[in-house]
Chain A
């Protein structure tokens, strides 16, 4: 039986407290008027010379803004006003977007673990049953994490922020494209879908966990078989809902843009993050003397998954990028134009972190068995996939006003604290080793 150590508990509370402070600072320092926003940008520009400011005034307004055809004399003036208002919205979005990216990132880790867990059950894998309790502990975060993401979505629908521009009736009224998509992208349907997705995922998680615990105490394998069936069914539901979730929660911040493989791309990101966290939690618990039966071969297998799915993520990232870059159709290429222009380092940096780094570090078979090596690679992979979500959300919500500062880091710390606290609290509620899983003996003697 695992008990959460006091040091870990205190550390997670400190993370949450510092994170909350950072989030609060972010919201307090967001500008509330156009004048404040302009003053903030000017103060920022002083440090970098005037060139940027000049460039910004020449920038054409974003397509999402209503373009007001005006008389020649007033053209310049209204253009400048539009620009200022746009800037205000971007700066007001900053703390919200920081909160949303971090909330989604940690939620997606739990969801990725849930998908991996369901795959292991449906595939009747012989090596992983020893890790089932670890996975179940991590997916416990689905409940608070999912609720927080849902609350942020509700607040967006209630116009507390401008994360999703299609929720603004004023914008839709002047936008033919958004009117055409209103059948799908409308606030009520959006929330209903989110509730169905979250409800389905959490339902599977809770039921599978219940069956998994019941199997320990039963004298036949009926719970195990039931768990196999619902896992297979869940995977079907998951593949559909996850794809739609990625359109809803991530792609729709850029409602003029669409990509067909976006759902799989986000899936790869959450899958590899989830597997990485399983490996890291397993290594942590093992280092503390729990999980005695877990050996290097289990870590080796997890590291192989980290390696393989990292490359799978890169394959999807590149396929999406290269297809759009090659054909260069203006209506879709803007997505990458803004990212390469304004997010050059995070955009290409994440490719290095999510591909080159794991490729070279985890290729060697021996390195996959060295625990600290897996932890180091895992930290880089997790940071890389945070940047991935950052690159997906930020350009559409804060544009060129992005910065990884207090609101962003505060949000990461807060959710990291919450994640650690919730996951390890859940791990402490049940024995870490399943008792009578039909594959548990195989898993104990697993070696590669």
Chain B
């Protein structure tokens, strides 16, 4: 837990923000974080963030769900107690499969959706009693904040950010996580 200084540049327009991000990136400064009230299209690309892999996890969770459905129905309906229910053939899984497809489908979707959402919460550290992290309440309404770590280049950064059309520039101490 080392305290470090960060510089916070405020913007009130997403277009200006995008240009600022590109300029700061071009100046080889590391952008710690950008706080936005709404998704800004293309911001992740401009910041050079790695693409998300959440779709891949979702596919794998779906495979798990499908497996759970097949194993469950096969055990219950075919192996454990293969009753004759209304003449449906419970001699093998494949013979009675059409009746299981709705369950297979729903469980695949259920696992894929819910586990993906939980993965999202875990990876983005979101839970009910979590302390909000936004540096300024205005970032949830109409302001954008770009946060850059300061390594003794305070004035240079200030100048650069003022050039990009920042409406306010603050420097604050921050505990890095």
Residues of A within 8 A of B (CB): 318, 321-322, 325-326, 328, 363, 365
Does B27 belong to the interface (CB within 8 Å)?
no
Bound together, the chains give a CA A321 to CA B99 distance in angstroms of 11
A-B contact pairs, 10 of them (CB 8 A): A318-B98, A321-B98, A322-B98, A322-B99, A322-B101, A326-B98, A326-B99, A328-B87, A363-B59, A365-B55
- Which size bracket describes the interface of B in this complex? under 10
- Smallest Cβ distance from A338 to chain B, in angstroms? 18
Most chain A CB within a 10 A radius of its CB, from B98, B99, B101: B98
Residues in B whose Cβ lies below 8 Å from that of A325? 98
Contact flags B96-126 to A (C-beta < 8 A → 1, else 0): 0011010000000000000000000000000
Partner of A318 from the list B55, B87, B101 (CB cut-off 8 Å) is B101
- Smallest Cβ distance from B77 to chain A, in angstroms? 14
Residues in A whose Cβ lies below 8 Å from that of B99? 322, 326
Bound together, the chains give a CA A325 to CA B98 distance in angstroms of 8
Query: What's the dominant secondary structure at chain A's contact region?
Result: helix
- Smallest Cβ distance from A369 to chain B, in angstroms? 14
Bound together, the chains give a CA A363 to CA B98 distance in angstroms of 24
Residues in B whose Cβ lies below 8 Å from that of A322? 98-99, 101
Residues in B whose Cβ lies below 8 Å from that of A363? 59
Bound together, the chains give a CA A235 to CA B59 distance in angstroms of 36
Residues in A whose Cβ lies below 8 Å from that of B59? 363
Bound together, the chains give a CA A321 to CA B98 distance in angstroms of 9
- Smallest Cβ distance from B85 to chain A, in angstroms? 12
Task: Give 9 closest A-B pairs by Cβ, nearest first.
Answer: A322-B98, A325-B98, A326-B99, A318-B101, A322-B101, A326-B98, A321-B98, A363-B59, A328-B87
- Smallest Cβ distance from A330 to chain B, in angstroms? 13
Residues in A whose Cβ lies below 8 Å from that of B101? 318, 322
Residues in B whose Cβ lies below 8 Å from that of A326? 98-99
Residues in B whose Cβ lies below 8 Å from that of A328? 87
Bound together, the chains give a CA A326 to CA B97 distance in angstroms of 10
Contact flags B39-75 to A (C-beta < 8 A → 1, else 0): 0000000000000000100010000000000000000
- Smallest Cβ distance from A446 to chain B, in angstroms? 14
Bound together, the chains give a CA A321 to CA B59 distance in angstroms of 27
Bound together, the chains give a CA A326 to CA B85 distance in angstroms of 12
- List the A residue with the shortest CB-CB distance to B55: A365
Bound together, the chains give a CA A328 to CA B88 distance in angstroms of 10
Bound together, the chains give a CA A326 to CA B55 distance in angstroms of 35
Bound together, the chains give a CA A322 to CA B99 distance in angstroms of 7
9 additional contacts (CB under 8 A) given A321-B98, A322-B99: A318-B98, A318-B101, A322-B98, A322-B101, A325-B98, A326-B98, A328-B87, A363-B59, A365-B55
Bound together, the chains give a CA A365 to CA B54 distance in angstroms of 13
Bound together, the chains give a CA A276 to CA B130 distance in angstroms of 48
- List the B residue with the shortest CB-CB distance to A315: B105
Contact flags B130-145 to A (C-beta < 8 A → 1, else 0): 0000000000000000
